[in-house]
Structure 1
Amino acid sequence: MTQYESLNVALTRLEAAMRAGDLWQSQALPEPAAFDSEQPFNADTMSLGQWLRYVLIPRLRSLMDGEHPLPSDASIAPAAEVYLQENKTSVRLPILEALRDVDNVLVNGELRSQEEQ
């Protein structure tokens, strides 16, 4: 499986986990100015759910669609753990697992092995 194919699987899992936890539907489209933030994860202008839905997933899909190089450094899951602390375990864990997959694909070029999950 190519890195793009692996990332597609990881992003599909992330979206599915967000939908299952009602985090996809509940994310209002941020105001245009919110996208201009220079803070990591647009933390000063968006919720994590908004950033995942409207920034991370579309940007990575756009890079894949254009066959552009993907970022090679990612630490999204550790940051998300902090932001998702308040969510129920049944919502938080699937999203974190999907984000760990995204991180691994970006850093190592492939999905995590079953032993790592």
Structure 2
Amino acid sequence: MNTVHQQMQKLLIDTEYALKQSGLWEADKPSKEALMSSQPFAVDSLHPEQWLQWVFIPKMQQFVSLNQALPAGFAISPYFEQTCQGKPEWIKVIRVLKEIDEVCA
């Protein structure tokens, strides 16, 4: 596993921890239909924390575990900064998402 993959693995663990610490982690998986959204961030069917937990983290963990090239040139933190503005429980999560953006820049 190369350094970028190691960094991403740590950041995915940090994201999960921040979600749990902030009370945003969910025990129950959304419906299969909700997870099949074709909208960016599944805005039509999932809350932001659900998208992170059930779509983004598993997909990125798959890239890491298979040692595949990570997606590049994207930034997810601006979406969460906008969507979760004024919600203090998101501060730690967004901090980690900014680090993910840097690794994938």
* TM more than 0.5: yes
Q: Give CA deviations for 1:51-93 in whole Å, capped at 9, x if unaligned.
A: 0000000000011111111100221100001221242x2x221
Find the aligned partners of 1:30 and 1:103 in 2 and give their Cα distance: 26
Find the aligned partners of 2:37 and 2:73 in 1 and give their Cα distance: 20
Q: Residues 55-74 of structure 1 correspond to what in structure 2 (within 5 A)? A: 55-74=55-74
User: What does residue 51 of structure 1 align with?
Assistant: 51
Matched length: 104
- Closer/same/farther in 2, CA of residues 86 and 29 from structure 1, 3 Å limit: farther
Task: Report the identity percentage.
Answer: 27
Displacement after TM superposition at 1:28 (Å) = 3.6
Displacement after TM superposition at 1:35 (Å) = 1.9
Find the aligned partners of 1:104 and 1:62 in 2 and give their Cα distance: 19
Find the aligned partners of 1:62 and 1:80 in 2 and give their Cα distance: 22
User: What does residue 79 of structure 1 align with?
Assistant: 79
What letter is aligned with 2:92? Answer: P
Q: Residues 1-117 of structure 1 correspond to what in structure 2 (within 5 A)? A: 2-25=3-26, 28-87=28-87, 89=88, 91-107=89-105
Find the aligned partners of 1:82 and 1:49 in 2 and give their Cα distance: 14
Q: Give CA deviations for 1:34-65 in whole Å, capped at 9, x if unaligned.
A: 12211110111100010000000000001111
Find the aligned partners of 1:29 and 1:84 in 2 and give their Cα distance: 21
Is residue 28–residue 50 contact of structure 1 (8 Å, CA) maintained in 2?
Answer: no
- Structure 2: gaps (5+ residues): none
Q: Secondary structure at the match of 2:30?
A: coil
Is residue 34–residue 45 contact of structure 1 (8 Å, CA) maintained in 2?
Answer: yes
Following TM superposition, the consecutive aligned residue runs of length 4 or more in structure 1 with deviations greater than 2 angstroms are: none
RMSD of the alignment, in Å? Answer: 1.4
Find the aligned partners of 1:72 and 1:53 in 2 and give their Cα distance: 20
